[in-house]
């Protein structure tokens, strides 16, 4: 009831608020109804996570997810839904079996997570754990010829730190006000999250620079060590962050088994070893590489435009479909992919006939450096790395991205495009009651909108509540379906659908940065 009253109030002020932008408030109301009350976003997310598994680039899980996305898009009437190659990526990889337990001085089950593109153990192995000091290169030489058949534990001091702040947070009104007031070049003060504090502490306490760890890993590979165990101050209270363990290029050799371990288990092993006792481990890890097709693939589909003068112009939405391996990539980024699929469903369900073409891109290999979106942009629009711009570049209006977890939209980053401030501010008015009203000149980096922005195309990422993205789910074993917030994902899809509709119906393309 309250939300309905607030929405009606927004309608009443539309004559003033929308003096410049033509906004169809009847369509906005229909989008809200479809997106908030008839949503399918959680069912889509379920298929991308629990019913699919992780979606590491070029893995069987990623392939399953692309087929599901294509099937859904086609069932809704989205045209030309397909897998589209963007260039060579490399080998796929998946974990097929994992068992790890300390067997001496007593039995204790432990759960490290193999990093991607690492080899297995070649069957069940019983091995002694060796504590390796990492003060300098000379300290490593002591262990030459002594690592064959061993489990390596780098001697790194990770003192457990309690967190006295909540893991899950939303933006405060004050924080949003500061974002809105930001100026070009002024930057934005990041929040001091628990994850940031742990990262600082880890940098201060770490006894081994990355160079020495890399040397140790190479020794482990060349001497035939069974595995190497690593941890960090972030890996606490059951949450283990596990990412890449080496190269995935088609001609590169397999990487030594490198496993990320919970800080508490890592410290247990280290304390026992430093007491002078022998530690033995029983482990079996089975991994599989896929090299028959090294191409990378995105999922592309579109709703063709209907205006004779504008139908060749394109509005795009997107999110990266790939994930890491320890969880099922729920908040990174099944949430974004599910939202963008839901946006396409909303538009088709409402029978909208857009003036411009609306296109979706679900990207692969974002986690390896925005590879899928950058490959698509280079092939479709040109302009990357000094290449000539292609004709489609001029016919492009805007790209909208979601990739900051499950938190609801609080507004949008302008990516330095001040000319869009008034436009987006007006488009957000019907959603103020849903918590979305902030427009900031600032940007959030590290995701696929930057592939478009890099070649002079308007690319935008929405402001989202952080929830527990940095503290718990981002690239961790806790990135699972249970950490998704249904109400937030419905809100995101509703706001994004409205932005897409307004962009597609606008008389002119969105302005570009100078």
**199 Cβ contact list (under 8 Å, min separation 6):** 233, 234
DSSP 78-144: -EEEEEEEEEE---EEEEEEEEEEEEESS-EE---EEPBTB---SS-EEEEEEEE--SSHHHHHTTT
Of the two residues 214 and 56, the one the predictor is more confident about is: 56
Cis peptide before 226 (omega within 30 of 0): no
pTM: 0.91
Over residues 99-114, mean pLDDT: 97
Q: Is 188 a residue whose pLDDT tops 80?
A: no
Over residues 225-247, mean pLDDT: 92
In the prediction, which pLDDT does 199 show? 54
Mean of pLDDT over the chain: 92
**389 Cβ contact list (under 8 Å, min separation 6):** 381, 382, 383, 455, 456
Beta bridge partners of residue 467, listed in sequence order: 169
In the prediction, which pLDDT does 201 show? 52
Q: Around Cβ 167, how many Cβ atoms within 10 Å?
A: 19
Give the burial class of 201: count Cβ atoms within 10 A of its Cβ; 0-12 exposed, 13-18 middle, 19 or more buried.
middle
Q: Is 192 a residue whose pLDDT tops 70?
A: no
In the prediction, which pLDDT does 20 show? 87
Of the two residues 255 and 74, the one the predictor is more confident about is: 74
For the chain, list the domains and their CATH numbers.
2-12+20-89+294-505 (3.40.630.10), 95-157+206-288 (3.50.30.30)
Of the two residues 296 and 251, the one the predictor is more confident about is: 296
pLDDT band at 202 (very low <50, low <70, confident <90, very high): low
Over residues 460-488, mean pLDDT: 96
Over residues 218-224, mean pLDDT: 92
pLDDT band at 141 (very low <50, low <70, confident <90, very high): confident
In the prediction, which pLDDT does 210 show? 79
Q: Is 18 a residue whose pLDDT tops 60?
A: no
Give the burial class of 163: count Cβ atoms within 10 A of its Cβ; 0-12 exposed, 13-18 middle, 19 or more buried.
middle
Q: Are 31 and 490 in contact (CB under 8 A)?
A: no
- Please name the residue that has the structure tokens 């004709």: 391
Strand stretches in 402-450, DSSP E: 409-413, 438-440
Phi-psi label, residue 127: left if phi above 0, alpha if psi -120 to 50, beta otherwise: beta
Over residues 233-242, mean pLDDT: 93
Q: Is 369 a residue whose pLDDT tops 50?
A: yes
Q: Is 410 a residue whose pLDDT tops 90?
A: yes
Dihedral sign for Cα atoms in the order 435, 441, 444, 449: positive
Q: Around Cβ 259, how many Cβ atoms within 10 Å?
A: 24
Q: Is 13 a residue whose pLDDT tops 50?
A: no
pLDDT band at 497 (very low <50, low <70, confident <90, very high): very high
- Cα–Cα nearest to 314, from 391, 385, 382: 391
- Helix runs in 153-257, H state only: 173-181, 194-205, 210-223
Q: Around Cβ 256, how many Cβ atoms within 10 Å?
A: 24
Over residues 186-195, mean pLDDT: 47
Q: Is 372 a residue whose pLDDT tops 60?
A: yes
Q: Which of 387-395's residues contact partners 24+ apart within 8 Å by CB, and which partners? A: 389/455, 389/456, 392/314, 393/455, 393/456, 393/457, 395/312, 395/313, 395/314
In this structure, are strands 295-303 and 357-363 parallel, antiparallel, or unpaired? antiparallel
- Cα–Cα nearest to 294, from 55, 66, 83, 92: 92
CA distances from residue 98 to 122, 257, 286 in whole angstroms, order as listed:
12, 12, 7
Q: Are 322 and 365 in contact (CB under 8 A)?
A: yes
Q: Is 200 a residue whose pLDDT tops 80?
A: no
């Amino acid at each position: 009831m309250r939300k309905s009253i607030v929405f009606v109030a927004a309608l009443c002020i539309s004559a003033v608020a929308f003096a410049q932008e033509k906004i169809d408030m009847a369509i906005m109301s229909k989008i809200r109804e479809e997106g908030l009350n008839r949503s399918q976003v959680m069912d889509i997310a379920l298929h991308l996570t629990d019913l699919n598994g992780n979606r590491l680039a070029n893995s069987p899980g990623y392939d399953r997810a692309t087929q599901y996305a294509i099937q859904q898009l086609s069932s809704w009437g989205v045209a030309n839904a397909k897998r589209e190659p963007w260039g060579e990526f490399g080998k796929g990889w998946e974990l097929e079996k994992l068992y790890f337990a300390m067997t001496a001085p007593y039995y204790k089950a432990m759960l490290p997570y193999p990093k991607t593109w690492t080899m297995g153990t070649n069957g069940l192995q019983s091995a002694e754990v060796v504590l390796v000091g990492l003060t300098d290169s000379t300290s490593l030489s002591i262990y030459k010829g002594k690592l064959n058949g061993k489990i390596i534990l780098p001697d790194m001091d990770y003192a457990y730190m309690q967190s006295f702040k909540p893991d899950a947070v939303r933006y405060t009104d004050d924080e949003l006000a500061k974002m809105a007031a930001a100026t070009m070049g002024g930057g934005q003060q990041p929040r001091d999250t628990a994850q940031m504090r742990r990262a600082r502490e880890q940098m201060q306490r770490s006894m081994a620079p990355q160079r020495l760890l890399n040397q140790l890993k190479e020794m482990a590979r060349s001497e035939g060590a069974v595995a190497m165990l690593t941890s960090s101050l972030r890996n606490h209270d059951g949450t283990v962050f596990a990412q890449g363990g080496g190269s995935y290029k088609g001609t590169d050799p397999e990487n030594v088994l490198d496993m990320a371990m919970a800080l508490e288990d890592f410290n247990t092993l280290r304390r026992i070893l430093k007491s002078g006792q022998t530690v033995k481990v029983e482990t079996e890890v089975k991994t599989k590489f896929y090299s028959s097709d090294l191409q990378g693939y995105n999922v592309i589909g579109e709703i063709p435009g209907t205006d004779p003068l504008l139908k060749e112009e394109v509005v795009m939405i997107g999110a990266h479909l790939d994930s890491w391996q320890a969880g099922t990539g729920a908040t990174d980024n099944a949430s974004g992919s599910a939202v963008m699929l839901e946006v396409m469903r909303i538009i088709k369900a409402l029978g909208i006939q857009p003036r411009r073409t609306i296109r979706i891109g679900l990207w692969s290999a974002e986690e390896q450096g925005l590879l899928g979106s950058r490959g698509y942009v280079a092939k479709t629009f040109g302009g990357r790395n000094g290449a000539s711009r292609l004709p489609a570049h001029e016919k492009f209006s805007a790209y909208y991205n979601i990739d900051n977890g499950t938190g609801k939209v609080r507004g949008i980053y302008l990516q330095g495009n001040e000319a869009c401030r008034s436009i987006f501010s007006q488009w957000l008015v019907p959603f103020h009651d849903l918590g979305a009203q902030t427009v900031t000149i600032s940007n959030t980096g590290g995701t696929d909108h930057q592939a478009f922005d890099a070649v002079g195309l308007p690319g935008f990422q929405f402001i989202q509540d952080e929830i527990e993205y940095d503290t718990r789910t981002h690239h961790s074993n806790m990135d699972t379906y249970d950490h998704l917030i249904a109400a937030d994902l419905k809100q995101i899809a509703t706001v994004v659908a409205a932005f897409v509709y307004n962009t597609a119906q606008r008389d002119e393309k969105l302005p570009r940065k100078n």
